[in-house]
Amino acid sequence: MGQIAQQAQGQQMVEMTPKKNLQMLMRKSWPRIASVVGNNISPDRLYQMCVSAINKTPKLAECSPRSVLSCFMTCSALGLEPSNVDGLGRAYVLPFYNKKSGGMEAT
């Protein structure tokens, strides 16, 4: 058996739910998002707030990853915390159905 086949055989297959997929994409693209964070919030705090927003609003996982990451990038650039977490009304990231694209997007 080849080396790759042996490695694959030893690994368990993990089901990628939309929520896990979005969180994985966010981790991969986080350096770009963190590079534009304003001075009033740390990148680590913003990351935790974004993860919390995804956890508190499960429909965000059904949205296109591009639209969700774009919203988090905008929050980052403006120095705003996603308020899905604390409800203080700074920046809400909300899912909606886009008739033009025929899918869910975040705004």
91 has which bridge partners? 82
DSSP string over 67-84 = HHHHHHHHHHHHTPPBTT
Q: Which two tokens stand for residue 59?
A: 């429909």
Q: Which two tokens stand for residue 57?
A: 């609003």
Mean pLDDT over each residue of the chain, to the nearest integer: 81
| Per-residue pLDDT at 72 | 85
Give dist(CA 92, CA 47) in Å, integer: 15
| Per-residue pLDDT at 20 | 84
Sign of CA dihedral 39, 40, 41, 42: positive
Residue type, 19: K
Give dist(CA 33, CA 72) in Å, integer: 7
pTM: 0.72
pLDDT tens profile 55-86: 888 899 899 988 988 998 888 888 788 876 66
Domain ranges of the chain: 16-106
